[in-house]
Amino acid sequence: MSSEVVTAAPGLEFEEPILTIEGRIRELERLGPANETVEEELRQLRRQWTDETRRIYGQLNPWQIVQVSRHKDRPYTRDYLNLAFDEFVELHGDKFYGDDRAMLTGFAKLDQQKVMVVGHQKGRTYKERSACHFGCAHPEGYRKAMGKMKMAEKYGLPIICFIDTPGAYPGVGAEQRGQAQVIAESMYLMSQLRTPIICVVIGEGGSGGALGIGVGDRIAMLQYSYYSVISPEGCAGILWKSHQFAPKAAEALRFTSAHLQGFGVVDDVLEEPLGGAHRDHHQMASRMKHYLTRTLAQLREIPADDLVQQRYEKFRQMGRFLEADTAAT
Amino acid sequence: MAIVERNDQAETKSKVFKRREIPAGLWIKCGGCQATIYSKEAQKLLNVCPKCQYHFYVSAQERLEQVLDAGTFEEWDNHLRPTDPLKFADKKSYAERLVAEQERTGMTDAAMTGCGMIRARRVAIGVTDSAFIMGSMGSVVGERLARLVERATEQKLPLIIVSGSGGGARMHEGILSLMQMAKVSAALSRYREAGGLFISVLTNPTMGGVAASFASLGDLVFAEPKALIGFAGPRTIKATIKIELPPGFQTSEFLLEHGYIDRIVERSKLKSEIARAIDYCGW
Ligand SMILES: [Zn+2]
């Protein structure tokens, strides 16, 4: 019956049953004011959509979660700035080399609260994506972020970091301008800032490039995002000798939001709308706003000395090891 | 963040094996100038090629002997043992890999930490060993280093960390290994606030998450000649940008030229250079 061709992007084939139903719904809706039979069919289709989406999204494996986190329609930092904040005043200027489009920084208002936002940006159109290097920041991006975060501390603005990167950019210029140096310095700086910091992994949390803006008082993750020491493809290339084993590596790395909460690395997981954040930017943004507002209110109550001390202890206790003396007795 | 991928790793690993398996008194081939040299002669020069000054691998134990006054090393936190929080398995389980690495290297994990004397001055010192799972940083390496930095802060000791890591963070421990970067960096941040002197010594190779954390945070950064140092592995970069890499890219000399290293220090002079820096800084 449907004339609409439904194809899922590579890796997202598991969404096909959902896309098929969505295609038929759109088609019926296009017909305009409908009679009772069409209305009934629509009602049935919507029920079917809910059941099917719940079934599919209820059993996503880690590799499928990676695909969702990379979905081309997934809300990016810029989308949250548009939908969850009242105002965004972008500040460029790393005062050193150039403006990295993979890192967005600036003043923002969240329910009339003034904050500083720092976030990776992937870009929606091909042109934007290549200008943003697909969300892979250069050293100038981290320098810009550090500059704005220092400014936030100076003027008492809380900091909100949106993490969404496959990793810091691997290139000749990036190495020449100190990629390792800036990531190290940024963590070093963030561990000492006397202002509240909330970090949210909204899509991909790609290793050092993510952690470079990832040291905060609260670390949150969207339900279908991932945060990992290495990309599943990179891990598969090293340990299984082929990128084709990425799904296996995704399983082994235990990097989904549920796992990370279990390891004590992530404090909060933000539930996504049914079928993923890419299906409903408004609802996701509204949940984000609610989470940020509530968490900021808690953090603002904590005196700066305690805040910095608690942040130190938070990261200090991360890791798993045995103490042989106690294990032996 | 084990950025150095497959081929680099296989290569480095086999080199390590070869190096470890050289019985004294044999001829070996230098990885720098390809010359055939008498291994005893290299050993006399602290494992440096007599022809081209190529710096071969040295173990953490040997490094400590080279840098510290004889018999002064007191090891800290050797009772910490790695575990397998992810139940990670590729072709081999991580738990098995750990046992195999421990037997092969005689170490419990990739870092040794403690205190000792350099020209009769007490210092806190940590050394990572690139032979143990590429010198990668898992929870034990991170914890030993964090405790080292905290004790150096409390006891007001100069801090020296000699890095050698081809892998950076240890992927077998997943996100927990990544977080060691933040943990050790945070500890160093407090050490600096307290006025400490941190001398970071980079050796071949220092890559990925180790380069992007404590190794880059020294008040002074020294590097051995011709070491491979960087964030992303050369093969990853080549695959991304699809152009030939400039000659000498990501070497100590390259980093010095671009402003990220204070001094290139030959192995034979490392101890005296550290002693002199401590003397200048009066810490
Ligand atoms: Zn040579």
Flag whether pLDDT at A326 surpasses 90: no
Domains observed in chain B: 59-281 (3.90.226.10)
Instruction: Please give the helix or strand (H or E) that residue A27 lies within, else none.
Output: helix A16-30
Sign of CA dihedral A181, A183, A189, A192: negative
Biggest alpha carbon–alpha carbon distance for chain A:
78
What Cα–Cα distance (Å) separates residue A173 from each residue in A177, A182, A241, A301, B1? 6, 13, 28, 43, 19
B174 at the A interface (CB within 8 A)? yes
Q: How far is the CA of B62 from the centre of ligand 1 (A)?
A: 20
* CATH code at position A114: 3.90.226.10
Please list, residue by residue across A138-159, b when 16 or more beta carbons sit within 10 angstroms of its beta carbon and e when fewer do: bbbbbbbbbbbbeebbeeebbb
Per residue in A164-193, pLDDT tens? 999 999 999 999 999 999 999 999 999 999
- Claim to verify: residue A50 and residue A177 sit in the same structural domain: no
- Claim to verify: residue A53 and residue A92 sit in the same structural domain: no
Which domain does A38 fall in, by range?
13-59
A250 at the B interface (CB within 8 A)? no
Tell me if A4 is assigned to some domain: no
Tell me if A322 is assigned to some domain: no
B249 at the A interface (CB within 8 A)? yes
- Chain A CB contacts of B91 under 8 Å are 239-240
Tell me if A323 is assigned to some domain: no
- Gap from A322 CA to chain B (nearest CA, Å): 5
pLDDT at A263: 97
Per residue in B19-29, pLDDT tens? 444 445 688 88
Tell me if A213 is assigned to some domain: yes
Per residue in A100-111, pLDDT tens? 999 999 999 999
A201 at the B interface (CB within 8 A)? no
Which residues 79-98 of B are in CB contact (within 8 Å) with A? 79-83, 85-86, 88-91
pLDDT at B16: 39
Which residues 189-248 of B are in CB contact (within 8 Å) with A? 189-190, 193, 208-209, 211-217, 229-233, 236-237, 240-241, 243, 245-246
- Give the pLDDT mean for A56-69: 98
Interface A-B: count of C-beta contacts within 8 A: 215
Flag whether pLDDT at B8 surpasses 50: no
A93 at the B interface (CB within 8 A)? no
- Claim to verify: residue A117 and residue A23 sit in the same structural domain: no
- Claim to verify: residue A179 and residue A55 sit in the same structural domain: no
Tell me if A271 is assigned to some domain: yes
Q: How far is the CA of B225 from the centre of ligand 1 (A)?
A: 12
What Cα–Cα distance (Å) separates residue A126 from each residue in A72, A73, A130, A132, B121? 11, 13, 6, 10, 59
Tell me if A324 is assigned to some domain: no
- Claim to verify: residue A185 and residue A143 sit in the same structural domain: yes
- Chain A CB contacts of B240 under 8 Å are 169-171
- Claim to verify: residue A245 and residue A304 sit in the same structural domain: yes
Q: Which one is predicted more confidently, B90 or A284? A: A284
| Whether A322 and B80 lie within 8 Å, measured CB to CB | yes
- Claim to verify: residue A27 and residue A94 sit in the same structural domain: no
* DSSP-assigned letter for residue A256: B
Cis before A139? omega within 30: no
Q: How far is the CA of B46 from the centre of ligand 1 (A)?
A: 13
Listed as own residue / partner, the contacts of A308-312 with beta carbons closer than 8 Å and 24 or more positions apart are A308/A191, A308/A192, A308/A193, A308/A194, A310/A217, A311/A191, A311/A197, A311/A215, A311/A216, A311/A217, A311/B186, A312/A191, A312/B186, A312/B190
CB A217 within 8 A of CB A314: yes
- Claim to verify: residue A139 and residue A17 sit in the same structural domain: no
Cα A111–chain centre separation: 21
- Claim to verify: residue A144 and residue A38 sit in the same structural domain: no
Flag whether pLDDT at B2 surpasses 50: no
- Claim to verify: residue A27 and residue A113 sit in the same structural domain: no
Tell me if A6 is assigned to some domain: no
pLDDT at B25: 62
Per residue in A119-149, pLDDT tens? 999 999 999 999 999 999 999 999 999 999 9
Closest chain A residue by Cα to residue B256: A176
Lowest-confidence pick of A264-268, B60-64, B241-245: B241-245
Please report the ipTM that was assigned to this predicted complex. Answer: 0.95
Of the candidates A266, A269, A291, A296, the residue with the CA atom closest to the CA atom of residue A116: A296
Q: What is the total count of domains within chain A?
A: 2
| Whether A171 and B240 lie within 8 Å, measured CB to CB | yes
Cα atoms found within 13 Å of the Cα of residue A72, Cβ hemisphere only = 10
What is the average pLDDT value for chain B, to the nearest integer? 90
pLDDT confidence tier of residue A5, bands split at 50, 70 and 90: low
Flag whether pLDDT at A22 surpasses 50: yes
Flag whether pLDDT at B233 surpasses 70: yes
Of the candidates A102, A106, A103, the residue with the CA atom closest to the CA atom of residue A116: A106
- Claim to verify: residue A48 and residue A172 sit in the same structural domain: no
- Claim to verify: residue A55 and residue A70 sit in the same structural domain: no
First CA to last CA distance, chain A: 72
Per residue in A283-325, pLDDT tens? 999 999 999 999 999 999 999 999 999 999 999 999 999 998 7
Tell me if A7 is assigned to some domain: no
pLDDT at B9: 36
